[in-house]
Structure 1
Amino acid sequence: MSAERTFVIVGGGLAGAKAAETLREEGFDGAVVLLAAEHEPPYERPPLSKGYLLGHDERSKAFVHPEQWYADHDIELRLGARVETLEPAEHRVRIAGGDTLTYDRLLLATGSEPRRLDVPGSDLDDVRYLRELPDADRLLDVLEPGHRVAVVGGGWIGLEVAAAARTHGAEVTLLELADLPLQGVLGNEVARVFAGLHRDHGVDLRLGAQVREIVGADGRVVAVVTTDGDEIMADTVVVGIGVRPAVDLAVAAGLDLDDGVVVDAALRTSAPDVYAAGDIASIDHPLLGTRLRVEHWANALDGGPAAARSMLGQDVSYDRLPYFFTDQYDLGMEYIGHAPPGSYDEVVLRGDVDARAFHAFWVRDRRVRAGMHVNLWDDGIAPVEELVRSGRSVDAERLADPEIALSDV
């Protein structure tokens, strides 16, 4: 009977919280223990660079549930509980401080951690990363008119931080090693849209720029110096150069890894009764036919519940398509599918790119591998998802014609 079983969830983010919620919704009445290394109840990360950092949303809106919700649903939430070792053969975890827990089934949902900038001066107090809620708190304290912010990295986090900083009136310089922000993610055609967006809102884009050092005085940031010798005066530096999956536990436990923790379509790892979801899960994707690890919000939102159902013995085949969204100034975007560099033949644009109201499709062999819409909210992302999922052959000219419904291309 489930009342005699203990399910342990390691990781206090969205995936872990949604897994715990799903276990109760599906009728599991055994013990559920959620081990969160942070001292905050589980929260969603998009508000950190979007609504909360912009000042539009209250801090509390980031939390998946109020803290009392966990007690009300008989979920043992342990905050500040950092798991030091996972011992699959013994079905046991050891927590910092000496406590141990045995489990019947365990979910690893440890998320990811920021890649660190390794240059002289990168240890100064005013060099920030945006991964945890207190990081957003600290940034909000300084984002104000006249404050000089240097953002290192032109990915999603870097661009969203730049947009939030400009919205608060701060002066922003963004340094990106590539020729365009988001170049590797979106390709040149769409990346130019985001470059123009930020320039139009007063961001000083320094492209092809690599940081050589961060100069400080009296322990405070003064400037960022590039390898070309350019000196950018700054009061705060925000580093957004990517993340790495937090797989140290999995490595020490001997789990199979391939970029992240290897799981099958049911989110089962190589160790009996151990599952993985969210940023760390390298999934054998049944629809895309490839192994895939996704770091975006929707993967945690959907992957946690899928893992919970799999832990309960249900038939699970996790085939959700990668999905992400962004809000920057007056631009809102949704993207779905999987089109890494080199996986597509052409990018088909549909609509008014100059007005930033368009679709983009990444196409290979007449099949849409991924698609996005920018500021086209009437139909949203659903018809784009249908195109990707269907795998049907499309005509590029019809796909580019906004007078033809996407269902008819």
Structure 2
Amino acid sequence: MAAPASIVIVGAGQGGAMAANALRALGYTGPLTLIGREPHAPYERPPLSKAVLRDADAEHAAAIHPHTFYAEQDIRLMRGIEALALDRARREIRLADGTVLAYDRCLLATGGQARELPALPRGTPKVHYVRTLDDARGLRACLRAGARVVVVGGGFLGLEVASTALASGAEVAVIESAQRLLPNALPAPFSRWLAARAAASGARLRLGARIASVACEADGRTPAGLVLDSGETLPADAIVVAIGLQPEVTLARAAGLEIDPHNGGIRVDACCRSSDPDILAIGDCASQHRDFLGRHARLESWQNANEQARVAAAAMLDAEPPAPPYPWFWTDQFGCNIQMLGMPDGDLVYTCRGDAEPGAQAPRLIWLGHRDGLPVHGVAVNAAADLRQMRVLFERGTRIDPAGFADASAALKPWIKACQQAAAPA
């Protein structure tokens, strides 16, 4: 099949930038346009709540590609402009400045927007959302010794912000409506361990708590703190709202593409094609069937954006797609690097390797979730290399020996080899 006459990528984040790179790497030489609503060149978002929030110098390292990359690869990068309409019949995209771009293939990598609390909308004095580089810059200016920071949301983003704020010398409180941290992402034992770790680091956790009202200063508009349903008031010099992501599907919905009714993402097939095969979608805005979950889902992760970018690039060029990897996530918080392999499920049995106190200087632990001996989910604290060694067991569906795994006195590599040998056909 002939190569596309032109390709337009809407969304200049992780997925869009990596897809543009993948297209050129696969040999596509035709017109390639990358459109971003932010004025900045494509950058990685994970550092926004960590390194970039700590240090302005880290902004340079967050760039996805060197500043010369787009010109060298003949990629037209259009920054600070929004795509307003997608005309499928004409195969055109209309931009906010009146520009109309024709496409043969279109890739939607539009990501999402931070969910807002009606009582604390964007633009409210002292209220911060952390989704963009400019958001991180605004919050960074508020983090100082003695500052009172209240984080609404005990998910990965909220906990990363809390950890960074504590490192800056701020006093931090975290409000989470669930009874434990990250109930949909972590096993209960690790969730309790992480809460204890956060508390040992200085964070004041308010679990199972809800905001009853906003205490305001004399002007009646500027928040002075948050009042919880328990009656407790948490004074605040800065309030960070981190309550999740709303997928950005405005273009797709208006164009009549199929939207997943359960998660709000653009529904795509295994090759990231939407209900219109000439329009693909990747990253936070895309809903794809996940065999390990048995349903469609949106995966909001750095790895997923990268992998789907490669799959979509191959699909647009009718090339063989890469094999899907086992899901992988990571976070840095409270002095720990936490790596996660796979996804949790309610029927998993967890076994822990290691026994570190939450307040230990350098804890090292792995929780392994299995179903009848088949590994499904792994969570490692400061043990990324160990979890990477175990990845082969997950990918091949190799049954494990949980008791042998829990024995931290025995080396991990021989245990992995023994599991593989036991599973090998006679």
| Fold shared by both chains (TM-score > 0.5) | yes
Q: How far does residue 290 in structure 1 lie from its aligned partner after superposition?
A: 3.6
Q: Does 1:61 align with 2:61?
A: yes
Structure 1 partner of 2:369: 362
Structure 2 partner of 1:346: 349
**Residues 278-357 of structure 1 aligned to structure 2 (within 5 Å):** 278-285=283-290, 289-316=294-321, 319-340=324-345, 342=346, 344-354=347-357, 355=360, 356-357=363-364
> In 2 relative to 1, CA 38–122 (structure 1 residues): closer, same or farther, beyond 3 Å?
closer
Q: How far does residue 401 in structure 1 lie from its aligned partner after superposition?
A: 2.4
Q: Does 1:374 align with 2:374?
A: no
**Residues 5-404 of structure 1 aligned to structure 2 (within 5 Å):** 5-55=5-55, 58-119=58-119, 124-217=124-217, 218=219, 219-258=221-260, 259=263, 260-285=265-290, 289-316=294-321, 319-340=324-345, 342=346, 344-354=347-357, 355=360, 356-377=363-384, 379-402=385-408, 403=410
User: How far does the alpha carbon of each residue in 1:292-318 deviate from its partner, in whole angstroms, 9 at most, with x for none?
Assistant: 320011111222122112111112255
What is the distance in 1 between the residues matched to 2:271 and 2:383? 34
What is the distance in 2 between the residues matched to 1:98 and 1:122? 28
Q: How far does residue 130 in structure 1 lie from its aligned partner after superposition?
A: 0.3
**SS of the residue 1:67 aligns to:** coil
Structure 2 partner of 1:406: 416
> In 2 relative to 1, CA 401–89 (structure 1 residues): closer, same or farther, beyond 3 Å?
farther
> In 2 relative to 1, CA 380–307 (structure 1 residues): closer, same or farther, beyond 3 Å?
farther
C-alpha contact 1:372 1:384 (8 A) present in aligned 2? no
**SS of the residue 1:183 aligns to:** coil
One-letter code of the match for 2:301?
Answer: H
What is the distance in 2 between the residues matched to 1:322 and 1:57? 31
> In 2 relative to 1, CA 199–288 (structure 1 residues): closer, same or farther, beyond 3 Å?
closer
Q: How far does residue 230 in structure 1 lie from its aligned partner after superposition?
A: 1.2
Higher normalized strand content (fraction of residues): 1
**SS of the residue 2:192 aligns to:** helix
- Counting matched residue pairs gives 406
What is the distance in 2 between the residues matched to 1:223 and 1:119? 12
Q: Which stretch has the larger CA shift, 159-168 or 262-271?
A: 262-271
> In 2 relative to 1, CA 287–151 (structure 1 residues): closer, same or farther, beyond 3 Å?
closer
Q: Which stretch has the larger CA shift, 179-188 or 4-13?
A: 179-188
Structure 1, gaps ≥5 residues long: none
One-letter code of the match for 1:239?
Answer: V
What is the distance in 2 between the residues matched to 1:210 and 1:35? 39
**SS of the residue 1:316 aligns to:** coil
Q: How far does residue 289 in structure 1 lie from its aligned partner after superposition?
A: 4.8
C-alpha contact 1:54 1:164 (8 A) present in aligned 2? yes
Q: How far does residue 52 in structure 1 lie from its aligned partner after superposition?
A: 1.5
What is the distance in 2 between the residues matched to 1:318 and 1:110? 24
C-alpha contact 1:193 1:353 (8 A) present in aligned 2? no
Q: How far does residue 273 in structure 1 lie from its aligned partner after superposition?
A: 1.0
Structure 2, gaps ≥5 residues long: 420-426
C-alpha contact 2:3 2:317 (8 A) present in aligned 1? no
Q: Which stretch has the larger CA shift, 201-210 or 217-226?
A: 217-226
Q: How far does residue 24 in structure 1 lie from its aligned partner after superposition?
A: 1.2
Q: Which stretch has the larger CA shift, 223-232 or 143-152?
A: 223-232
**SS of the residue 1:142 aligns to:** coil
Which 4+ stretches in 1 moved above 3 angstroms? 1-4, 120-123, 285-290
What is the distance in 2 between the residues matched to 1:31 and 1:2? 14
Q: How far does residue 122 in structure 1 lie from its aligned partner after superposition?
A: 7.3
Q: How far does residue 120 in structure 1 lie from its aligned partner after superposition?
A: 6.4
Q: How far does residue 288 in structure 1 lie from its aligned partner after superposition?
A: 5.7
Q: How far does residue 329 in structure 1 lie from its aligned partner after superposition?
A: 3.1
> In 2 relative to 1, CA 121–20 (structure 1 residues): closer, same or farther, beyond 3 Å?
closer
**SS of the residue 2:141 aligns to:** helix
Structure 1 partner of 2:422: none
> In 2 relative to 1, CA 56–42 (structure 1 residues): closer, same or farther, beyond 3 Å?
closer
**SS of the residue 1:18 aligns to:** helix
One-letter code of the match for 1:145?
Answer: A
Percentage identity across aligned positions?
Answer: 38
One-letter code of the match for 1:386?
Answer: V
What is the distance in 1 between the residues matched to 2:122 and 2:136? 19
> In 2 relative to 1, CA 155–57 (structure 1 residues): closer, same or farther, beyond 3 Å?
farther
What is the distance in 1 between the residues matched to 2:4 and 2:187? 52
What is the distance in 2 between the residues matched to 1:101 and 1:120? 37
> In 2 relative to 1, CA 116–407 (structure 1 residues): closer, same or farther, beyond 3 Å?
farther
> In 2 relative to 1, CA 57–201 (structure 1 residues): closer, same or farther, beyond 3 Å?
farther
> In 2 relative to 1, CA 372–407 (structure 1 residues): closer, same or farther, beyond 3 Å?
farther
C-alpha contact 2:4 2:317 (8 A) present in aligned 1? no
User: How far does the alpha carbon of each residue in 1:71-126 deviate from its partner, in whole angstroms, 9 at most, with x for none?
Assistant: 22110000112111212232111112322111010111001111111226876221
Q: How far does residue 286 in structure 1 lie from its aligned partner after superposition?
A: 5.3
